[in-house]
Structure 1
Amino acid sequence: MALRIRKSIKIAPGVKINLSKSGISTSLGGKGSTVNLGKRGARVTTSIPGTGISSSKLYVTGNRAAQPAVFTPLWAHVVAWLIVAAVLWWIFS
């Protein structure tokens, strides 16, 4: 049996930072549609809330065999943090 450890930290409405033993990822969105940016690529999940019907697709950039095992799309995290900073600036100014 595998043991999973995960912690999700809510940064702003619709923005979460997910920490696990396998790495860090950023989730953007809420009920109905979510984009998760992690080391495997971008996962887009859409659903019809309340029905249990959902669809998920992983978008991987480049040749995964040529990339190192610890590849993290740093640009994706930077974009997410810039969005968080802009929202916080807009709220508090």
Structure 2
Amino acid sequence: MPLTFRKSFRILPGVRLNLNRRSWSITTGGRHGPRRTHSSTGRRTTSMDLPGPFGWRRTTHSGRTRRNRRSWMGR
């Protein structure tokens, strides 16, 4: 079983700082209405709870992209 680290701090009413092993993020918004999350990895998420067992989420990434590292061994 892998070990994980995840912690969330309430900074102000409606604002949370979320930490994990590799990144951090800030979430704004409350329980009712839309929530926006901005991550240090460039991910931006907007989510909202809808009535019943439904929810809505949209995730986008900023201009940063991950590039595959090429191995120069054997050249």
> Could you tell me the TM-score, scaled by structure 2's length?
0.71
Count of aligned pairs:
65
Q: Cα 1:55–1:3, aligned 2, differ >3 Å: closer, same or farther?
A: farther
User: Secondary structure of 1:4's match?
Assistant: coil
Asked whether 1:37 is paired with 2:38, we answer yes
Cα distance in 1 between the residues matched to 2:2 and 2:53: 25
> Comparing both structures, which one devotes a greater share of its residues to helix?
1
> Comparing both structures, which one devotes a greater share of its residues to strand?
2
> Could you tell me the TM-score, scaled by structure 1's length?
0.59
Larger RCO, structure (CA 8 Å, separation 6 or more): 1
Question: Percent sequence identity over matched residues?
Answer: 26
Query: Structure 1: which 4+ aligned runs deviate by more than 3 Å?
Result: none
Structure 2 unaligned residues grouped into runs of 5+: 68-75
